[in-house]
Amino acid sequence: MGNVQNTCKFISCFSYKGGAGRSTLAINVVPYLAEMLNATEKRPLVLVDMDIDSCGLTFLFDLHNDHRIKKECVQSWFHPRFSNMPIVDEDEDEIDSALDHEMFQNLYPVGEFFGFRPKEILCLPANPGETIKGDSNYDAPLSSHISAFKRMCKSTACGVLFDSAVGSQLTAIWSNNCASHIMCCLRPTEQFREGTKHFFDIYDTKANSKNIIIIPNIVPVDELSIKGKNGIINNYPSYAKDRILEDFKDNLSRKNNNYILDLLEGNKFGVPKIDRFMWQEGVLKNAENLSEIERTALDIYKEIARMIVAGN
């Protein structure tokens, strides 16, 4: 991977609304990211649960019952009033021995969840139900501790993956602002298509130079014909795929951000629906007795990681 060891990738796994399977997508891309970014105990991959209302990663890793959760969580580290994060001079090139800082010492090792050494992948969970400011997760001021956290990770981690909140929630804004790569997760339904399009029409006027990977998720593979509002019969999933490509045509032409539609090229259409995830989410890479559709999904997770690592 060339000089990938000297580069820290900042990634946000985002969706315009809940129910897109965002956290499950994130944890299935993680093992490939860790491999491609050469995660080690001295240069780990850091996962941050920024969905403080729903805490997907926190529950998937079963960290919500840990006795330390109230102290070692996103809310305590990024709270504008009582964060322990050091304020870092923006002119500093590097932070020495950041792994010795209290934050890195107290991140939860979750590498074994993915088949790695425990401390090769670390997690900063969220404390379920606790707000950032104390009254709302939408209007707390931008915390300087986010910038400090990013600079610490830049000199210490091989990558940081924010499991974002949804829409315009504060922690979603922070996640997307910190990231150079946004994994935009959406279901292929009409509300997700139109809502995601509308969100990025607005977002594109505020952000520049982001690599936004459009990832249709939980895509049914069985063909189905449905009469539309205009009385015309539409054949799914091909109709939904065509609509997503049409919706993002204007965004592509603006050139403010790099919209990546590789997962809608040719016969590809995002990540297929995995039946076992309907009952128990997990890391498909570690699963046994994979079906053909699950092997296809694995190839797509790997391709997503490759796009992130190859991007600037």
CATH number of the domain encompassing residue 237: 3.40.50.300
What pLDDT digit, counting tens, does each position of 265-276 carry?
A: 999 999 999 999
What pLDDT digit, counting tens, does each position of 215-256 carry?
A: 999 999 999 998 877 788 889 999 999 999 999 988 888 889
pLDDT given for residue 68 in this prediction? 87
Q: What is the 3-state secondary structure (H, E, C) of the chain?
A: CCCHHHCCEEEEEEECCCCCCHHHHHHHHHHHHHHHCCCCCCCCEEEEECCCCCCHHHHHCCCCCCCCCCCCCHHHHHCCCCCCCCCCCCCCCCCCCHHHCHHHHHCEECHHHHCCCHHHEEEECCCCCCCCCCCCCCCCCCCHHHHHHHHHHHHHCCEEEEEEEECCCHHHHHHHHHCCEEEEEECCCHHHHHHHHHHHHHHCCCCCCCEEEEEECCECCCCEEEECCCCCEEEECHHHHHHHHHHCHHHHHHCCCEEECHHHCCCCCCCECCHHHHCCCCCHHHCCCCCHHHHHHHHHHHHHHHHHHHCC
213 pLDDT more than 70: yes
305 pLDDT more than 80: yes
pLDDT given for residue 151 in this prediction? 82
Higher pLDDT, 108 or 152: 108
Average pLDDT in the chain? 87
Residue 243 neighbours by CB under 8 Å, 6+ apart: 190, 193
What pLDDT digit, counting tens, does each position of 66-92 carry?
A: 988 888 888 888 865 544 555 444 444
| Residue 155 CB coordination number (10 Å) | 17
At how many degrees (to 10) do helices 170-178 and 144-156 cross? 40
User: 301: closest CA among 56, 36, 46, 19?
Assistant: 36
| Residue 19 CB coordination number (10 Å) | 14
Domain count, the chain: 1
What pLDDT digit, counting tens, does each position of 153-195 carry?
A: 888 899 999 999 999 888 899 899 999 999 999 999 999 999 9
pLDDT given for residue 71 in this prediction? 83
| Averaged pLDDT, 21-36 | 97
pLDDT given for residue 7 in this prediction? 83
pLDDT given for residue 141 in this prediction? 53
Structural domain including 136 reads 4-310
**CA–CA dist 127, 164 (Å, integer):** 14
124 pLDDT more than 90: yes
pLDDT given for residue 94 in this prediction? 46
Q: What percent of the chain has pLDDT over 70?
A: 87
**Confidence grade of residue 100 (pLDDT, cut at 50, 70, 90):** low
The answer to whether the beta carbons of residues 68 and 105 sit under 8 Å apart is no
Tokens coding 198: 């509308």
Tokens coding 180: 């150079």
pLDDT given for residue 43 in this prediction? 93
**Confidence grade of residue 95 (pLDDT, cut at 50, 70, 90):** very low
Q: What percent of the chain has pLDDT over 90?
A: 62
135 pLDDT more than 80: no
User: 130: closest CA among 69, 219, 202?
Assistant: 69
Cross-strand partners of 10: 160
93 pLDDT more than 90: no
